[in-house]
Amino acid sequence: MSTTEFKAPSSATFERISENTMVVNMGPQHPSTHGVLRLIIELEGETIVQCKCVIGYLHTGMEKEAEYQTYHKCTVMTDRIDYLNANGNNLAHALAVEKLLGCEIPKRGQYLRVMLAELSRIASHCIWLGTHALDMGAMTPFFYIMQQREMVLDMFEIFSGVRMMPSWIVPGGLRGDMPEEFETRLRKFLIEFPKELQVVENMLVENPIWKERTQNVGVLSAQEALELGCSGPIARASGVAFDLRKSAPYSSYEDFDFDIPVGKVGDCYDRFLVRIAEMKESCKILQQAIDNLPSGPYNSEDRKATPPPKEEIDTSMESLIHHFKHYTEGFHPEVGEAYAGIEGSKGELGFYVISDGSNKPYRWHERPSSFMNLKSLEVLAIGKLLADVIAIIGSIDIVLGEIDR
Amino acid sequence: MSAASAVDRFDVASLQQKFGDDILKVKVESDDVFVCVNRSQIAKVLEFLKTEPDLDYTYFVECLGADYSTWPHQRDLTERFEVIYNLYSVKHRTRLFVKVGADDGQKVPTAKNVFLGADYPEREIWDLFGVVFEGNEQTERFLLPEDWSGHPLRKEYPLGGEDVTFHEGAEGPAIEDLQQPHTGESFEGKTSSRDVSGR
């Protein structure tokens, strides 16, 4: 490539602050860094004076790849970005593209989307709870909570046939309607899950070791959190009552009655409590969604955005043409740019799509919540012990797929 | 809902009053408000948006880059690259996009000193687009491997694969068979050892 010559760095990529310190490398293959995060930590005694995150080990160039794919094919990549919250990513992407297309989704479709997104949030928080506790030496919660996550993944499988990467929410609606079995499973889950969550909660909330490890560790103030670009449970634990589901409702979230849990101190323990409370709020939303699920179509009527129903193809020439065009060429949104942000499991999750009027995005960018939240680790680690870094990483809840993209 | 109110609440008007000609263009598109700003003023504009109590854009959502070198339509800015800052006011529930333009070799003042969170996205933009941020200049790769050359999100950078070792021991890119269906969908048929991997 002859674009810009790049001079490789001559020495290590880390500058020491003082002389009498020790530099410790952690990761990228370290179980408590939740993937391939590498930390370079400078220690004075046991106190951290500098912490630097080295990322990019999982960079796959999805934003470049997307510029060569039609919008429908881009959907499949969104699952792989934050693979623990796949439906949330699908939803954010679908909303951004729909904003360009200007198409409306019927209420049933919106409710189904909410259900999938909330289940994804629960699944993602389950993983966080299990691994965070595991990092801190509490092994039992992991087994209990992973069992519940399995239940959620089973429901995704019933819905879409895929456990982790459903790609079920697409621009224009959903790929298919809710199967009947899903409803019975969901209702059963909504009875069982709060009980199981209570079991895990009992193990940790008043646990003196847990409290010792997490209370007053990694305290982030509200102002700092916002300046750093932190959102989601991290900002809320710091006392910012900010949730896009309330402040800018999308996909019919205004129909549901739920609360935003907000912390007081902003330490790891508060982040833990906020996420636990969020799972319960998600259950509340799911209960309301399944009880009030409207009947009718779940896809947009706009034939440019959604393929026609299969039975129409046999009788209508236009439907056949639309079907063929939809799957070979895709759709052409208006020239322009659109950003849609949703409240993902880890914070604000948005897609910024620039369209030049062709069937492929001109620029396709995700606002990665983990990536923006990660910066807070470099700030929070200073002055803490090495063991606290493990607690902080766990409480930030990062997914390296989303950080590196 | 969020966007129309950013205009209604005179956020844009107070920006225009304060910065005058440095506000190049104001655009409202699908409910989002975009304000194009003179590149040299960006740090001051962000500072003003953040500290002015009536505006209160304290939440730095992100900033992203875009390469418009092959854009066939009308543009907001004349420069090749755009850096788009995404700000949100938690108090007033409004979102505002601030845009600056930069050509190759032109530096954008860093927003790191206003919003610390701008550090990572700026590094990413440099890594993938080659837009340099004054005050946050980088010498090392961020997302890409250390020995990577070029900035892959630039439009002229081809999409290619990694070189592979074939069973005969020869090394080279996996060249597409142009006779096959779906040719050019992913590799654009441009793969050669030099152009491909960037190394």
Residues 351-370 of A with CB under 8 A from B: 352, 354, 356-357, 362-363, 365, 367
Q: Is the pLDDT of residue B193 over 50?
A: no
C-alpha B14 chain-centroid distance: 26
pLDDT at A110: 92
- Which conformational region is residue A397 in: left (phi greater than 0), alpha (psi within -120 to 50 degrees), or beta? left
Q: Is the pLDDT of residue A352 over 90?
A: yes
Tens digits of per-residue pLDDT, A245-297?
988 888 889 889 999 999 888 889 999 999 999 999 999 999 999 999 998 88
Where in A257-347 does DSSP place strands (E)? 336-343
Task: Give me the amino acid identity at A149.
Answer: R
Q: Which residue has the tokens 């046991």?
A: A46
Q: Is the pLDDT of residue A121 over 90?
A: yes
Beta-carbon-side half-sphere exposure of residue B135 (alpha carbons within 13 Å):
13
Nearby residues of B27 by Cβ (< 8 Å), 6 or more positions away: B33, B34, B35, B36, B76
8 Å CB contact of A4 and B2 = no
Q: Is the pLDDT of residue B171 over 80?
A: no
Any idea where the domains of chain B sit in the sequence? 2-134, 158-199
DSSP element (H, E) containing B12: helix B11-19
Minimum distance, in Å, between the CA of residue B118 and any CA atom of chain A: 7
DSSP element (H, E) containing A208: helix A208-214
Weakest-pLDDT range from A90-99, A356-365, B27-36: B27-36
Please state, for a pLDDT cut of 70, what percent of chain B lies above it.
Answer: 75
Q: Is the pLDDT of residue B173 over 60?
A: no
> Of A102, A252, A172, A104, whose CA–CA distance to B29 is shortest?
A102
Minimum distance, in Å, between the CA of residue A375 and any CA atom of chain B: 7
Nearest CA in chain B to A350: B61
- Domains defined for chain A, CATH in brackets: 73-381 (1.10.645.10)
Weakest-pLDDT range from A253-257, A373-377, B177-181: B177-181
Q: Is A51 helix (H, G, I), strand (E, B) or coil?
A: strand
Pick the CATH number of B2-134 from 3.30.750.24, 3.30.460.80, 3.40.50.261, 3.30.2350.10: 3.30.460.80
Distance CA(A366)–CA(A354), nearest Å, equals 12
Exposure string (b/e) for A91-130, b if CB count within 10 Å is 16 or more?
A: bbbbbbbbbbbebebbbbbbbbbbbbbbbbbbbbbbbbbb
Helix, strand, coil abundance in chain B, percent, nearest 5: 25, 25, 50
Average pLDDT over residues B47-60: 87
Residues linked to residue B67 through DSSP beta bridges, in sequence order: B81
Tens digits of per-residue pLDDT, A123-139?
999 999 999 998 888 88
Q: Is A246 helix (H, G, I), strand (E, B) or coil?
A: helix
Distance CA(A226)–CA(B87), nearest Å, equals 10
Weakest-pLDDT range from A162-171, A224-233, B1-10: B1-10
Nearest to A375 among B1, B117, B188 (CB): B117
pLDDT interval class at B196 (50, 70, 90): very low
Q: Is A251 helix (H, G, I), strand (E, B) or coil?
A: coil
